[in-house]
Structure 1
């Protein structure tokens, strides 16, 4: 995803760190603070993904200042609490949560810079079907394997969360949340053809928008259309390959491609 952490992931870390630190400094028990942090992580990823793909909210200076002000207020609260109660194990864990929030904030407000060239107000001229990341639309076996991996991730996360609830184990909440973030199940991509290039939206859990990027027409050197498939060839990275039968309006897609890149 553009070679760096997406802003939505930074948003998740920010909310998780703020929620965890606030819960700890407020005196919540560990087995209550951990699920708050994991819940904040999931909500932050969803909110960040929607902000990135549906608006330019994260790229605005006001948003950066407001979220930064929350961090400053949280830091002052944590510092005052540490001075009053001493730097015990709880305080050290709180400092770690604040650090996660600061890193998440930096990724959130700077990671959205890659989207500056994406014109969110420009309507797509054509849309290609969703594909599983790492596989082409015509690679059925690869997609089936990816679905099995997704099911395995969900089962593992469910086990960790069940153990956390059944045994009041904070570490299980944290391991489940970490496992969820690392393997973000159901990642798919959808490409939209615009006047400026290909705009790719990445989704997790099959439907939740997560990240967005743009490939200009100059980054493509042509396309190939046969009776069964469409291939869009890129200068760098893998080609995009689609089953022709899955494309809703093949003639429109081909017409847009003809306007910008040569047929191979």
Structure 2
């Protein structure tokens, strides 16, 4: 009987937490400690010249994988080139020159084509252009009015300390609730999500943060968040979301990443 009573109390508390999430906004969670700033982040670097700051990032708990091309190598001349799988990474740094070999349509800025493909296929990843010619990329972005193409532009000529300081600032989008939500909201707006849809996702995001902020809920967090995710996804699919948003949110894996659920159910 005691176990049943405890379970009922927990269900009531979770229900009240769901109610609270409806009226709470990410900026109200500024004092909530969620995740360490960089530990656990997975970073992919696409650069034909390699990446000499790998150990710098690993020293602060970041997992780094270096790819020397956007495409996998082929064994036969006529074989269709396929990109490496980048879905498991939180942040993708992509060089601009010579990282999409065989794609001559982009001239000296071949990597722009790779970045465009990354942005289309992974709308909720942080994509950072890592280039020795940031001015050329900035001019192209301005000319084509594609400001959402990349989230940041890093200069290869930065000193290691400047790179690390900028990276730590960028990684706040994965640790600070307000910064994380602003990043998600920007991506949703880019995908033409309606305000009603955005608010539903905001509610789910806040709920996941509140669960993480109260350790006693962690044992129930997985099931509760999965139920909320499924119901939210169903709501969105019944709405008038754009095809890009529908594609971007399809599957529990990606939508879990959007809500911060994976981080929320980790141990304290």
Same fold, judged at TM 0.5 (above): no
Higher strand share: 1
Higher helix share: 1
TM-score when normalising by structure 2? 0.29
TM-score when normalising by structure 1? 0.30
Q: Tell me which structure has the larger Cα radius of gyration.
A: 1
Of structures 1 and 2, the one with the larger relative CO (CA 8 A, separation 6+) is 1
